[in-house]
Amino acid sequence: MTLHDRLIERIRARGAMTFADFMDAALYDPQDGYYTTKAAIGFDGADFLTSPELGPAFGRALARAAIDCWTGIGKPAHWDIVEAGAGRGILMRDLLEALAKERAEAARTARPAIVEVSPRLREQQALALEGKELRWASVAHALAPIRGVVFANEVLDAFPVHVLVRAEDGVREVYVDAKDGALVETLRAPSHPDLRYRVPDSLPVGGRWEVSLGAESWVAQLAAAIAQGYLVIIDYGGEEADLLARGGAGTVRGFSRHRLVADALAAPGDHDLTASVNVTAIRRAAEGAGLTLAGMTTQRDALIGLGVREAYGRPTAPIDQLRAASKRSAIDVLLEPNGLGAYTVLCFAKDAPADGLRFLAR
Ligand SMILES: C[S@@+](CC[C@H](N)C(=O)[O-])C[C@H]1O[C@@H](n2cnc3c(N)ncnc32)[C@H](O)[C@@H]1O
């Protein structure tokens, strides 16, 4: 039985489910969830692309960020480099390789670890990182106390969101119901009383507002696991004011083979589902859990601050010039002001200084 059919059965037995529960099932159902069983990240035959997939420049830049974090906490005898939500493991692989080249002492004393929920992606990570000593955990507190740095690239956008709508008569929540054998949207009273108060007053009637309680509590769990050091989050989205400027158009969307999916409710589990990150809400969650905002910037400025453009010299041999040009064009994609370069980089600190971090320098 497909996940679609199982969800219809569940709705018939127990009633309509929140969109957040639907999205959770579509992405993380143990049998058929997209991330559990099908996630395909990269170029060929994949559904979407992330920065580490564009070549080693991203990992090399983040290795420099890790060196700054290591320096910030006083270069302890042992320190942690954690990647939360590591996809195919490409970033961790490139980062560790670059770290060994750039700062042998930091590489030798580092304890790398990954926090990952997807069994399928864990397998891919193990392949990418074969031969490296690494710990895996499905929850951050299994790695506590973390002393070092935690990176989370494009992870928060993969958390389920509650979708709220400002109706004429108050705030409603989007639920998923079954009708004539199909999954359809329906509006109900908010599933948690708090959700009603999360909708900004200026959201117009008919406008949608997304709240990711899951992403917020995940960030709080990471914060609790960090004893000393930094949490670096990179993702698409914006501050509440930016999201409001969209006039209440929701941001939930699906991707399959690099194309937008027309109906996010059709074929759950077969394609990715994502929502833009509410940076303001994440900041509040992190600060409420004991972290301090060390700084916020764009991916473009962070990578330039880390010297991403200085990585390739000016070779003389024609073939090396071609190689350098292709690497430069991958870097241009990472820096694209209307694309990956516009992603938000948030850096939080606990018992660690905010200065001396090159990626926050510009
Ligand atoms: C959009 S992918 C990004 C992967 C990778 N960071 C990259 O840039 O290619 C989201 C990743 O987060 C993982 N993930 C989702 N929810 C998670 C959770 N609660 N804890 C840890 N990892 C999670 C997914 O399995 C996947 O590896």
Would you say residue 240 lies in a domain?
no
Does 70 fall in a domain? yes
Q: Convert the pLDDT of each residue in 24-50 to its tens digit.
A: 999 999 999 999 998 888 888 888 899
pLDDT in tens, 241-273: 999 998 889 999 999 888 888 899 999 999 999
Determine the Cα–Cα distance for residues 216 and 332; give it in Å rounded to an integer: 32
Tell me the CB-side half-sphere exposure of residue 248, using CA atoms within 13 A. Answer: 14
- Strand 344-350 relative to strand 226-235, pairing: antiparallel
Query: For position 102, which CATH number holds?
Result: 3.40.50
361 confidence band (pLDDT: 50, 70, 90): confident
Contacts 24+ apart (CB under 8 A), 256-265: 256/47, 257/45, 257/46, 257/47, 258/46, 258/47, 258/48, 258/49, 265/22, 265/176, 265/182, 265/183, 265/184, 265/185
Beta bridge partner(s), residue 209: 164
What pLDDT sits at residue 297?
A: 98
Summarize pLDDT for 190-202 with one digit per residue, the tens: 999 999 999 999 9
Report the 10 Å Cβ neighbour count for 70: 26
Residue 60, both tokens: 């090399």
- The span from the CA of 233 to the CA of 296, in Å, is 10
Largest distance between two CA atoms of the chain = 70
Q: What are residue 276's phi and psi, to 5 degrees?
A: -65, 150
Ligand 1 centroid vs 12 CA: distance in angstroms?
Answer: 31
SS3 for 131?
coil
In-domain check, residue 135: yes
User: Can you read off the two tokens belonging to residue 161?
Assistant: 């969101």
What angle (nearest 5°) sits at the alpha carbon of residue 267, between those of residues 50 and 259?
A: 35
User: Does residue 43 sit in helix, strand or coil?
Assistant: coil
Q: What residue owns the CA closest to ligand 1's atom 13?
A: 85
Residue 27's H or E segment, with its range, is helix 19-28
203 Cα: distance to centroid of ligand 1 (angstroms):
30
Split into its structural domains, the chain has a count of 1
For ligand 1, atom 23: residue with the closest CA:
85
Domain-embedded: residue 41: yes
Is the pLDDT assigned to residue 311 strictly greater than 80?
A: no
CA of 207 to the centre of ligand 1 (A): 29
Q: Please give the residue range of the domain that contains residue 62.
A: 35-146+299-360
Percentage of the chain beyond pLDDT 90 is 87
User: For residue 124, what pLDDT band results from cuts at 50, 70 and 90?
Assistant: very high
Tell me if the pTM is above 0.75.
yes
Q: Using the mean position of ligand 1's atoms as its centre, give its distance from the Cα of residue 223 in Å.
A: 17
Distance CA 248, CA 251 (A): 9
Atom 10 of ligand 1: nearest residue by CA position: 155
For residue 187, report the phi and psi dihedrals to the nearest 5 degrees.
-105, 135
Nearest 5 degrees, angle CA 81-CA 341-CA 86? 30
Cα dihedral 318, 319, 325, 329 in deg (nearest 10)? 160
Domain contains 158: no
Supply the pLDDT for residue 258: 86
Is 9 a member of any domain?
no
Q: What is the chain's percent helix, strand, coil content, to nearest 5?
A: 40, 25, 35
Q: Does 134 map to a domain?
A: yes
Whether 141 is covered by a domain: the verdict is yes
Closest C-alpha residue for ligand 1 atom 11? 85
**Ligand 1 contact, 94 CB (< 6 A):** no
- Answer whether 174 contacts ligand 1 (Cβ < 6 A): no
Got the DSSP string for 288-343?
A: HTT-EEEEEEEHHHHHHHTTGGGGS----SHHHHHHHHHHHHHHHHHH-TTTGGGS
